[in-house]
Amino acid sequence: MGTPFISLLEPSKLEGFQLGVPRESLPSTIPKTFLDAMEVREEVFVKEQNVPGENEFDADDPRSCHWVIYVSVNKTEVPEVRNEEGDIVRPRKSSTRSTPVGTIRMVPFPHEPHPKPGGDYWNGVLKGDEGNATNNSAPSARQFVHDRPTTFHDGKEPYIKLGRLAVIKDYRGYRFAGQLVRNALEWIKKNPSFFDPSIRELGLEQMGASTETEAPQWRGLLCVHAQEQVASAWAKWGFEIDEGMGKWWEEGIPHVGMFLRLEIGPKDIQISA
Ligand SMILES: CC(C)(COP(=O)(O)OP(=O)(O)OC[C@H]1O[C@@H](n2cnc3c(N)ncnc32)[C@H](O)[C@@H]1OP(=O)(O)O)[C@@H](O)C(=O)NCCC(=O)NCCS
Q: Which domain holds residue 149?
A: 5-76+92-261
Query: Which residue's alpha carbon is at the smallest distance from atom 26 of ligand 1?
Result: 233
pLDDT averaged over every residue in the chain: 90
Pocket test for ligand 1, best of 167, 169, 237, 250 (most atoms within 8 A of CB): 167
For residue 156, the tally of other CB atoms under 10 A from its CB is: 12
Mean pLDDT of the 137-152 span: 80
How far is ligand 1, taken at its centre, from the CA of residue 246, in Å? 22
Whether 270 maps to a domain, the answer reads: no
For residue 36, the tally of other CB atoms under 10 A from its CB is: 22
Q: Which helix (H) or strand (E) holds 97?
A: strand 93-107
How far is ligand 1, taken at its centre, from the CA of residue 207, in Å? 36
Flag whether pLDDT at 124 surpasses 50.
yes
| CA angle, residues 156, 224, 176, in degrees to nearest 5 | 150
Burial class (CB in 10 A: 0-12, 13-18, 19+), 22: exposed
Whether 25 maps to a domain, the answer reads: yes
Whether 183 maps to a domain, the answer reads: yes
**CATH code of residue 137:** 3.40.630.30
What is the atom index within ligand 1 of the atom nearest the CA of 164? 47
Mean pLDDT of the 90-98 span: 88
Query: Total domain count for the chain?
Result: 1
Whether 81 maps to a domain, the answer reads: no
How far is ligand 1, taken at its centre, from the CA of residue 239, in Å? 14
Flag whether pLDDT at 25 surpasses 80.
yes
How far is ligand 1, taken at its centre, from the CA of residue 226, in Å? 11
What is the atom index within ligand 1 of the atom nearest the CA of 227? 48
Ligand 1 contacts (CB < 6 A) are: 44, 165-167, 172-178, 226-227, 229-230, 232-233, 236
How far is ligand 1, taken at its centre, from the CA of residue 236, in Å? 10
- Collapsing DSSP states into helix, strand and coil, what is residue 68? strand
Q: What pLDDT digit, counting tens, does each position of 29-55 carry?
A: 999 999 999 999 999 999 999 988 988
Whether 145 maps to a domain, the answer reads: yes
Q: What pLDDT digit, counting tens, does each position of 205-239 carry?
A: 666 667 666 778 999 999 999 999 999 999 999 99
Whether 84 maps to a domain, the answer reads: no
For residue 244, the model assigns a pLDDT of 97
Cα 63 to Cα 56, 116, 140, 256, 267: the distances in Å are 15, 24, 10, 24, 22
Whether 36 maps to a domain, the answer reads: yes
Whether 271 maps to a domain, the answer reads: no
Burial class (CB in 10 A: 0-12, 13-18, 19+), 17: middle
Quickly state the pLDDT bin for 132 (edges 50, 70, 90).
low
Pocket test for ligand 1, best of 71, 170, 172 (most atoms within 8 A of CB): 172
